[in-house]
């Protein structure tokens, strides 16, 4: 028997290569290619009145300089609105190079192609763009006021306004014995993968074809978009995703201007062209997320049960809306978490500002929603003097209520219907893990030592594995090597390992024989992309289904060869044998030989498939009408709806009574992503997610000044936590299978990030006894909050102010 | 403009991973770019080019340093070790590399070479670190994927492997 | 983020270096460790036409210890100073402070003298220089001169150094027997520029304080010394007027607000760090001087 791989802590297949300098990221490719660099707007909002490129042409090594005027065909048109929505009445997108006006600092204005990046930057420095400055709209408050407009033809800066209501919220609020209103704020952060974006285009003039390498989360999306922009047949465009140094959402947006311009320039110049985004560019010309102002009104009974929830929020979508309103839709729907809200109404306004675009970042609107809901839960508990876990528990959807329809439309246009989950069991595990019931004693002990500690909690439900589909292709070579392809891309999640685990089990082959290719349109032309924690659910099930196709074919051929019934056969370790009679067997690789009738043998094993090699029925064609040559198969997995993973986190923090420095002493996670393919990888995803969440809660923010300048566009000042700032994460798992897919799995990629700001706010509030309504929070801000809250105690030495 | 239209090229010779390598490059060529683009040693990654992230960390005479904060021309008198010098064969991993895969201490792998070089040097001086010391030792390198927890584990595990201890 | 072109000079002697500096004037920059300079070049916030790379200059790499001083040459890396047992024994404050300079990989290349010449108010070593009454050794076209650290720093990133002068060494003053030292700082992340930091020297006479001084990181425009002797002289360890010291610090420092913390916060932090440093310094049994 092959050792079962599914569910095991299998070491990653991709590691040895990546550990030894043998990874191949976009910038590792294309030695000798020309390099692109961009002149980017230093203004948040301005009209372009003149561009002078004469000086730049003087430089040796400059091959091309392009402005919008030079662009032709559809390359000159605005970039596509990727996800249109009826509520998005005023979608606006930018151009590949700014046409007439710029709407955020960092917007590309001029493209330079040169011998190397050094020279390209020299040329950029010699280009003079003259601007006529316009008033900048920065922050939700300014956008909401609408005194100035980002786009002249978008009144009130409103890109979209969407309202959903379940039940009669006004009536339920009016009847509720208790109501509270919370005004909440959450600031911008960003994905910040360690590798920025990158594009490398090889133009083949002889074939009139393009091979594009991009650090993207969707190779098929880039391919379709680039072919359309460049007016090329799809058949002449290949997009390959090499190793990708992290994505976290930002690389799902496509086509980025550079993804169009680099191949366009390669074609125009007949040369290979490469662009590697540097860190400063990534800060000002990629994407951010999270910034929202929220207003929550909640009605609840004296036991803390929700009767009505009325939420309004204002979402900062930046200068353009290429990715539509996915992020605020997710906030609006996933805000509900594991709870039954009573009547629910949510309305949001998605607003333009003169800042970098806002598109999904790990969690994609869920951290904001979770923050709103969980702050509300804590407020209810505080109002009623109840235990915070107990209030949550009283509002849980119960296991016997699954599947549970929240009555809303989710981000995929389908019902928000939870497939499974056991929230009471998750909470019980969490309380156990963190020692919830012992915390009072711990706190008392800490107080005696002059220490200030607090306990926080946060719960979430995460819609994962959204459609429309992914595909799997499985091919057994005559050597026994199994090639697996799926179209979605990978950027560190270990897809090459987990998909190999699944195929190895389904096909009955050693995992060492299985080789997985992701994100290469040459191998799988139909795919959607990597986002919404969907890789394992979508491609996992797709390769499982494809493996089953191949397995069935292998058994059929083997049955003929062994003259037994296929039902009597099993496959293990790459050998097909009769159940109970292992001596009667045939190797899978031999079946692969037999699957492809040959005229020409290429080696001795192939001779078995040639036309004089064996007996055959002269009345039948070598390949049956309903069959194809080769031991391979393809299938697609397309679900009716998303799966819903969930989790609950708790943290213990300590705050310095004087300096307000905040330390996370413990961080506990109970996570339920259905059946785990590889717990080692799931835990890694949770750890990394929590670390990003900690960044978002305590360290990271995008600080814009009123003029729209990003003040901290470097790793010196945008504070991604180091190891010294990230707590050890203690994890426990619940595995509630999803009834929706053959493998019973749900997604795990984003989960860790979602509740962290909520949990840390909860814990700091608990430690400090003051309300937290804005995140992230720094020591200086906490100290200031203390000062506002009580002008006296610890800061008394400060004297009168 | 005062800059010369054509920049003077220097023959820069570095001793990298024990081998002398020469390429022509201007004085401003960063060591990171020289290794990657002039010598083709792409294992050294570039994450920020201002010395904060640590992805480009190489060993200069055995000590970790940021390759993006050195000019290749200045590096000439030194022995440079890149991740390829720690171990370039996927079938023959160094102790640190083995520990990384055993502990799932990498995800996207982009920051990983900087961690591998940093930790390899650290363990030379600190053969038996505690988890707390291990965490401090890696606190000059950014990783956006792992949350560091498994890297801490890998440092301790690598020390065990170096000392010849079994799993 | 690639530096603009420059002419690279690689002098082999101090005189050669000084002579090149004289020729290139304000269009030249000295490259030693480069850990502050190169990020600025990569971002093209500065693009000097000439870099005078002193890494090949002979005779600048030594740490010398005399009864009065620890003399640190211009090419001594932070890491080298940190490791130097003799320096740590002669003036423990050096190791206490230099450990706080960024991360080890930066300390491998960055030079202690370079960080003093750079005169960043957020630098640790300038503050140690003034606190120990250091002397900055400079060579210019007319020969060597010596500048007391107290006179060297004139503003953030500004010193009395002329463009054609090279700092060849800094002599940190050793402290009297019975002196204890402490260095502490607080940053958002490990290795970041401190929000506030303090270096402290306390000379004891038995159980009583004979003299005490402090200097600060990130909260004064130039590093300068706050003399705490009047407040502390004669007071016994364990009975120090910590609140009065904190008050003196608040009055002394003059921090600015930035995106990481307000001026008020930094002022509070400097005072609190000093209070804690003083308590730790006087109760810890590590002798601060030898």
Strand-pair partners of A296: A182, A311
Mutation choice for B interface testing from C31, C105, C108 by most B CBs within 10 A: C105
Residue B54 covered by a domain: yes
Q: Which helix (H) or strand (E) holds A225?
A: helix A219-230
Residues B111 and B151 in one domain: yes
Q: Which of C4, C55, C103 sits opposite B74 (nearest CB)?
A: C55
Q: Count CB-CB contacts under 10 A for residue B18.
A: 9
Both tokens of residue C96? 């206490």
Q: Return residues 688-707 of A near B (CB < 8 Å).
A: 688-692
Residues B61 and B105 in one domain: no
Length of chain C, in residues: 290
Residues C106 and C203 in one domain: no
Chain B residues lying within 8 Å of C51, measured CB to CB: 27
Strand residues in A561-630 grouped as ranges (E): 569-572, 575-578, 581-587
Residues B15 and B75 in one domain: yes
Residues C123 and C91 in one domain: yes
Cα–Cα distance measured from residue A496 to residue A526, given in angstroms and rounded to the nearest whole number:
18
Residue C134 covered by a domain: yes
Do A349 and A160 meet the contact criterion of CB atoms below 8 Å apart? yes
Contact check, Cβ <8 Å, C106/B51: yes
**Which residues have C-beta within 8 Å of that of residue A305, sequence separation ≥ 6?**
A342, A394, A395
Residues B118 and B68 in one domain: no
How confident is the model over C130-142, as pLDDT tens digits? 999 999 999 999 9
Do B20 and B12 meet the contact criterion of CB atoms below 8 Å apart? no
**How many structural domains comprise chain B?**
2
Q: Smallest Cα–Cα separation from C167: which of C128, C140, C134? A: C140
**pLDDT of A557 over the 70 cut:** yes
Do A232 and A544 meet the contact criterion of CB atoms below 8 Å apart? no
Any CB–CB contact under 8 A between A723 and chain B? yes
CATH of the domain at B15: 3.10.20.30
The residues on C that touch A, with CB distances below 8 Å, are 1-5, 39, 43-44, 186, 188-193, 195, 243, 246-247, 250, 259-262, 264-265, 268-269, 271-272
CATH of the domain at B113: 1.10.150.120
Do C107 and C33 meet the contact criterion of CB atoms below 8 Å apart? no
The pLDDT score that the predictor gives to residue A605 is 83
Task: Say what the alpha-carbon torsion angle A539, A542, A543, A548 is, to the nearest 10 degrees.
Answer: 160
| Residue at token pair 């989360």 | A217
Which of B17, B52, B85 is the endpoint of a domain?
A: B85
How confident is the model over A654-708, as pLDDT tens digits? 999 999 999 999 999 999 999 999 999 999 999 999 999 999 999 999 999 999 9
Do A551 and A475 meet the contact criterion of CB atoms below 8 Å apart? no
- What is the value of pTM for the model shown? 0.96
Question: pLDDT band at C84, cuts 50/70/90?
Answer: very high
Residues C71 and C118 in one domain: yes
Could you give the count of Cα atoms lying within 13 Å of A764 in the half-sphere of its Cβ? 30
**pLDDT of C289 over the 80 cut:** no
Cα–Cα distance measured from residue B75 to residue B33, given in angstroms and rounded to the nearest whole number:
13
| Residue at token pair 């055995």 | B62
- The whole-number average pLDDT for the span A49-58 is 97
Chain A residues lying within 8 Å of B147, measured CB to CB: 684, 687-692, 726, 729, 752
CATH of the domain at C34: 3.30.43.10
How confident is the model over A625-658, as pLDDT tens digits? 899 999 999 999 999 999 999 999 999 999 999 9
Residue C11 covered by a domain: yes
Chain A residues lying within 8 Å of B93, measured CB to CB: 16, 19-20
Cα–Cα distance measured from residue C125 to residue C115, given in angstroms and rounded to the nearest whole number:
7
Residues C185 and C224 in one domain: yes
The pLDDT score that the predictor gives to residue A2 is 61
The pLDDT score that the predictor gives to residue B167 is 54
Both tokens of residue A345? 């109404």
The pLDDT score that the predictor gives to residue B1 is 38
Q: What domains can you pick out in chain A, each with its CATH number? A: 32-134+191-285 (3.90.1170.50), 292-466+640-789 (3.30.365.10), 470-637 (3.30.365.10)
Residues B99 and B157 in one domain: yes
The pLDDT score that the predictor gives to residue A1 is 47
Nearest CA distance, B166 vs chain C (angstrom): 30
Chain A residues lying within 8 Å of B28, measured CB to CB: 118
Nearest CA distance, A522 vs chain B (angstrom): 23
- The whole-number average pLDDT for the span A776-783 is 98
CA distances from C216 to C160, C161, C187, C200 (A): 20, 22, 14, 9
The pLDDT score that the predictor gives to residue C210 is 96
How confident is the model over A335-370, as pLDDT tens digits? 999 999 999 999 999 999 999 999 999 999 999 999
Query: What residues of chain B score a pLDDT lower than 50?
Result: 1-4
Q: Return residues 45-84 of B near A (CB < 8 Å).
A: 45-50, 52-53, 55, 82-84
Which of B62, B85, B108 is the endpoint of a domain?
A: B85
The pLDDT score that the predictor gives to residue A141 is 96
Residues C206 and C224 in one domain: yes
The pLDDT score that the predictor gives to residue A790 is 79
- The whole-number average pLDDT for the span A769-791 is 94
ipTM of the complex: 0.97
Residues C116 and C140 in one domain: yes
Strands laid side by side in the A643-655 sheet:
A452-464, A643-655, A662-672, A729-733
Cα–Cα distance measured from residue A621 to residue A489, given in angstroms and rounded to the nearest whole number:
39
CA distances from B100 to A577, B116, B148 (A): 38, 9, 11
Q: Smallest Cα–Cα separation from A548: which of A625, A624, A630, A474? A: A474
Cα–Cα distance measured from residue A638 to residue B36, given in angstroms and rounded to the nearest whole number:
42
Residues C28 and C81 in one domain: no
Residue B71 covered by a domain: yes
How confident is the model over A412-446, as pLDDT tens digits? 889 999 999 999 999 999 999 999 999 999 999 99
Residues C141 and C188 in one domain: no
Q: Which domain holds residue C75?
A: 63-173
Residues B152 and B101 in one domain: yes
CA distances from C15 to A524, C21, C162, C167 (A): 66, 10, 15, 12
Cα–Cα distance measured from residue A779 to residue C261, given in angstroms and rounded to the nearest whole number:
8
Residue B43 covered by a domain: yes
- The whole-number average pLDDT for the span A725-745 is 95
Do A71 and A235 meet the contact criterion of CB atoms below 8 Å apart? no
Residue B167 covered by a domain: no
Do C202 and C281 meet the contact criterion of CB atoms below 8 Å apart? yes
Nearest chain C alpha carbon to A713: C43
Three-state SS string over A560-579 comes to: HHHCCCHHHEEEECCEEEEC
Do A315 and A157 meet the contact criterion of CB atoms below 8 Å apart? no
Residues B76 and B132 in one domain: no
Cα–Cα distance measured from residue A129 to residue A47, given in angstroms and rounded to the nearest whole number:
10
Residues B136 and B155 in one domain: yes
**pLDDT of A33 over the 70 cut:** yes
The pLDDT score that the predictor gives to residue A360 is 97
Residues C38 and C70 in one domain: no
Chain A residues lying within 8 Å of B110, measured CB to CB: 23, 25, 193-195, 243, 245-246
Please tell me what DSSP assigns to residue A188: -
Contact check, Cβ <8 Å, A779/C192: no
Mean of per-residue pLDDT scores for chain A: 95
Q: Which domain holds residue B64?
A: 9-85
**pLDDT of C287 over the 70 cut:** no
Residue B35 covered by a domain: yes
Any CB–CB contact under 8 A between B36 and chain A? yes
**pLDDT of A792 over the 90 cut:** no
The pLDDT score that the predictor gives to residue B166 is 57
**pLDDT of A140 over the 80 cut:** yes
Q: Count CB-CB contacts under 10 A for residue B56.
A: 30
**pLDDT of A483 over the 90 cut:** yes
Do A469 and A782 meet the contact criterion of CB atoms below 8 Å apart? no
Q: Return residues 93-132 of B near A (CB < 8 Å).
A: 93, 97, 100-102, 104, 106-113, 116
What is the DSSP code string of C19-78? HHHHHHGGGEEEESS-TTHHHHHHTTS---SEEEEGGG-TT---EEE-SSEEEEETT-BH
The pLDDT score that the predictor gives to residue A606 is 84
Residue B4 covered by a domain: no
Residues C188 and C161 in one domain: no
Cα–Cα distance measured from residue A383 to residue A394, given in angstroms and rounded to the nearest whole number:
15
- The whole-number average pLDDT for the span A80-91 is 96
How many beta-carbon pairs under 8 angstroms link A with B? 194
Q: Count CB-CB contacts under 10 A for residue C209.
A: 24
Residues B80 and B31 in one domain: yes
- The whole-number average pLDDT for the span C106-119 is 97
Cα–Cα distance measured from residue A215 to residue A230, given in angstroms and rounded to the nearest whole number:
19
Cα–Cα distance measured from residue C159 to residue C161, given in angstroms and rounded to the nearest whole number:
5
**Percent of chain A at pLDDT above 90?**
92
Residue C2 covered by a domain: no
Residues C48 and C125 in one domain: no
Subunits with at least 3 CB pairs below 8 A relative to chain C?
A: A, B
Residues B48 and B17 in one domain: yes
Residues B109 and B146 in one domain: yes
**pLDDT of A615 over the 80 cut:** no
Cα–Cα distance measured from residue C151 to residue A625, given in angstroms and rounded to the nearest whole number:
94
Residues B20 and B70 in one domain: yes
Which of B56, B85, B114 is the endpoint of a domain?
A: B85
CATH of the domain at C188: 3.30.390.50
Strands laid side by side in the C135-140 sheet:
C63-65, C69-73, C166-173, C135-140, C143-148
Do A35 and A274 meet the contact criterion of CB atoms below 8 Å apart? yes
Q: Which of A118, A658, A724 sits opposite C272 (nearest CB)?
A: A658
**Which residues have C-beta within 8 Å of that of residue C57, sequence separation ≥ 6?**
C11, C12, C13, C14, C16, C17, C74, C75
**How many structural domains comprise chain C?**
3
Any CB–CB contact under 8 A between A587 and chain B? no
Pairing status of strand A581-587 against strand C7-9: unpaired
**Percent of chain C at pLDDT above 70?**
98
| CA C139, chain centre distance (Å) | 20
Q: Smallest Cα–Cα separation from A37: which of C52, B105, C44? A: C44
Residue with the bigger pLDDT between C281 and A126: it is A126
**pLDDT of A797 over the 50 cut:** no
Mean of per-residue pLDDT scores for chain C: 95
Q: Which helix (H) or strand (E) holds C158?
A: strand C158-159
Residues C158 and C227 in one domain: no
Mutation choice for C interface testing from B74, B78, B82 by most C CBs within 10 A: B74
Residue B63 covered by a domain: yes
Chain B residues lying within 8 Å of C5, measured CB to CB: 3-4, 7, 26, 28
């Amino acid at each position: 028997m092959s050792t079962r791989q599914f569910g095991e802590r299998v070491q990653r297949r991709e590691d040895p290569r990546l550990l030894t300098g043998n990874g191949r990221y976009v910038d590792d490719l294309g030695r000798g290619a020309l390099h692109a660099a961009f002149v980017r707007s230093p203004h948040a909002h301005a009209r372009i009145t003149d561009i002078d490129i004469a000086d730049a042409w003087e430089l040796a090594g400059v091959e091309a300089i392009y402005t919008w005027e030079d662009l032709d065909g559809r390359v000159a048109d605005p970039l596509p609105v990727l996800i249109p929505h009826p509520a998005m009445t005023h979608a606006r997108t930018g151009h590949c190079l700014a046409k007439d006006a710029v709407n955020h600092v960092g917007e590309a204005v001029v493209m330079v192609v040169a011998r190397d990046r050094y020279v390209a930057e020299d040329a950029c420095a010699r280009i003079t763009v003259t601007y006529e400055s316009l008033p900048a709209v920065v922050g939700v408050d300014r956008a909401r006021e609408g005194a100035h407009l980002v786009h002249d033809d978008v009144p009130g800066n409103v890109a979209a306004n969407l309202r959903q209501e379940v039940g009669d919220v006004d009536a339920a609020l009016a009847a509720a014995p208790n109501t509270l209103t919370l005004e909440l704020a959450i600031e911008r952060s960003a994905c910040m993968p360690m590798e920025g974006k990158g594009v490398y285009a090889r133009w083949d003039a002889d074939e009139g074809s393009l091979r594009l390498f991009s650090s993207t989360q969707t190779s098929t999306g880039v391919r379709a978009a680039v072919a359309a922009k460049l007016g090329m047949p799809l058949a002449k465009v290949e997009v390959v995703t090499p190793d990708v140094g992290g994505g976290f959402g930002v690389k799902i947006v496509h086509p980025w201007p550079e993804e169009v311009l680099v191949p366009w320039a390669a074609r125009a110049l007949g040369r290979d062209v490469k662009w590697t985004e540097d860190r400063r560019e990534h800060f000002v010309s990629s994407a951010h997320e999270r910034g929202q102002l929220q207003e929550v009104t909640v009605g609840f009974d004296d036991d803390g049960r929700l009767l009505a929830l009325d939420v309004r929020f204002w979402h900062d979508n930046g200068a353009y809306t290429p990715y539509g309103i996915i992020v605020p839709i997710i906030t609006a729907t996933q805000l509900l978490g594991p709870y039954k809200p009573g009547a629910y109404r949510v309305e949001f306004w998605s607003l333009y500002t003169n800042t970098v675009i806002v598109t999904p970042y790990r969690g994609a609107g869920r951290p904001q929603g979770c923050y709103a809901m969980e702050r509300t839960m804590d407020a209810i508990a505080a109002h009623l003097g109840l235990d915070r876990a107990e209030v949550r528990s009283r509002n849980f959807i119960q296991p016997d209520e699954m599947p549970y329809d929240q009555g809303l439309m989710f981000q995929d246009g389908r019902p928000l219907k939870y497939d499974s989950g056991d929230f009471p069991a998750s909470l019980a595990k969490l309380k156990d893990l963190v020692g919830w019931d012992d915390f009072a004693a711990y706190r008392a002990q800490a107080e005696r030592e002059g220490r200030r500690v607090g306990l926080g909690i946060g719960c979430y439900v995460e819609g994962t594995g959204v459609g429309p589909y992914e595909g799997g292709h499985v091919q057994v070579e005559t050597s026994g090597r199994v090639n697996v392809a799926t179209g979605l891309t990978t950027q560190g999640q270990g897809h090459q390992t987990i998909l190999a685990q699944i195929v190895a089990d389904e096909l009955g082959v050693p995992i060492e024989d299985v080789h997985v290719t992701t994100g290469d349109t040459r191998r799988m032309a139909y795919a959607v992309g990597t986002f919404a924690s969907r890789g394992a659910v979508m491609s996992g099930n797709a390769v499982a289904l494809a493996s089953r196709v191949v397995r069935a074919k292998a058994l059929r051929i083997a049955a003929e060869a062994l003259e037994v019934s296929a039902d009597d056969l099993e496959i293990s370790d790459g050998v097909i044998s009769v159940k109970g009679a292992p001596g009667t067997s045939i190797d899978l690789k031999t079946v692969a030989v037999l699957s492809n009738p040959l005229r020409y043998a290429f080696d001795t094993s192939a001779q078995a498939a040639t036309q004089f090699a064996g007996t055959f029925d002269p009345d039948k064609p070598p390949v049956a009408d309903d069959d194809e040559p080769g031991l391979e198969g393809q299938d697609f997995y397309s679900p009716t709806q998303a799966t819903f993973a969930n989790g609950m986190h708790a943290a213990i923090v300590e705050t310095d009574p004087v300096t307000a420095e905040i330390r996370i002493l413990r961080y506990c996670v109970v996570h339920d992503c259905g059946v785990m393919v590889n717990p080692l990888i799931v835990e890694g995803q949770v750890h990394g997610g929590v670390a990003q969440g900690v960044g978002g809660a305590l360290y990271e923010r995008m600080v814009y000044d009123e003029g729209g300048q990003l003040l901290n566009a470097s790793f010196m000042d945008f504070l991604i936590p180091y190891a010294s700032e990230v707590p050890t994460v203690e994890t426990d798992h619940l595995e509630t299978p999803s009834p929706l897919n053959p493998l019973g799995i749900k997604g795990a990629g984003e989960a860790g990030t979602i509740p962290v700001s909520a949990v840390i706010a909860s814990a700091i509030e608990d430690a400090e006894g003051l309300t937290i309504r804005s995140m992230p929070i720094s020591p200086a801000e906490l100290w200031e909050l203390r000062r506002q809250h009580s002008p006296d105690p610890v800061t008394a030495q400060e004297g009168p102010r | 403009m005062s800059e010369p239209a054509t920049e003077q090229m220097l023959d820069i010779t570095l001793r990298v991973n024990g081998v002398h390598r020469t390429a022509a490059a201007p004085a401003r060529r960063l060591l990171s770019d020289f290794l990657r683009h002039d010598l083709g040693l792409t294992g050294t990654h570039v994450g920020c080019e201002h010395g904060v992230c640590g992805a480009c960390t190489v060993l200069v005479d055995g000590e970790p340093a940021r390759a993006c904060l050195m000019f290749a021309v200045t590096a000439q008198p030194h022995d440079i070790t890149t991740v390829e010098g720690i171990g370039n064969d996927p079938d023959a991993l160094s102790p640190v590399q083995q520990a990384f895969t055993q502990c799932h201490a990498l995800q996207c792998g982009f920051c990983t070479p900087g961690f591998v070089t940093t930790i390899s040097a650290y363990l030379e001086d600190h053969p038996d670190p505690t988890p707390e010391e291990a965490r401090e030792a890696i606190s000059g390198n950014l990783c956006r994927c792992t949350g560091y927890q498994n890297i801490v584990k890998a440092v301790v595990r690598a020390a065990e492997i170096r000392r010849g201890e079994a799993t | 983020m690639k530096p603009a072109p420059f002419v690279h000079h690689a002098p082999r002697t101090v005189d050669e270096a000084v002579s090149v500096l004289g020729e290139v004037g304000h269009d030249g920059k000295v490259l030693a460790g480069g850990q502050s300079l190169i990020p600025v070049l990569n971002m093209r916030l500065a693009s000097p036409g000439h870099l005078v790379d002193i890494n090949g200059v002979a005779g600048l790499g030594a740490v010398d210890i005399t009864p009065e001083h620890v003399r640190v040459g211009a090419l001594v890396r932070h890491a080298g100073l940190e490791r130097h047992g003799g320096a740590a024994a002669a003036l423990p404050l050096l190791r206490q402070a230099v450990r706080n300079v960024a991360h080890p990989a930066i300390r491998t290349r960055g030079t202690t003298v370079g960080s003093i010449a750079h005169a960043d108010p957020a630098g640790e070593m300038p503050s140690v220089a003034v606190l120990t009454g250091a002397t900055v050794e400079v060579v210019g076209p007319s020969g060597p001169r010596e500048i007391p650290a107290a006179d060297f720093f004139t503003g953030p990133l500004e010193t009395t150094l002329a463009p054609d002068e090279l700092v060849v060494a800094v002599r940190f003053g050793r402290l009297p027997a019975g002196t204890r030292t402490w260095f502490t700082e607080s940053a958002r992340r490990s290795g970041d520029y401190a929000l506030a930091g303090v270096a402290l020297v306390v000379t004891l006479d038995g159980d009583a304080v004979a003299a005490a001084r402090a200097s600060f990181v990130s909260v004064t425009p130039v590093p300068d010394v706050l003399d705490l002797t009047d407040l502390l002289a004669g007071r016994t360890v364990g009975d120090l007027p910590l609140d009065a010291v904190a008050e003196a610090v608040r009055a002394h420092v003059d921090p600015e607000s930035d995106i990481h913390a307000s001026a008020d916060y930094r002022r509070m932090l400097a005072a609190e760090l000093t209070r804690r440093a003083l308590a730790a310094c006087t109760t810890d049994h590590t002798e601060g001087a030898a």
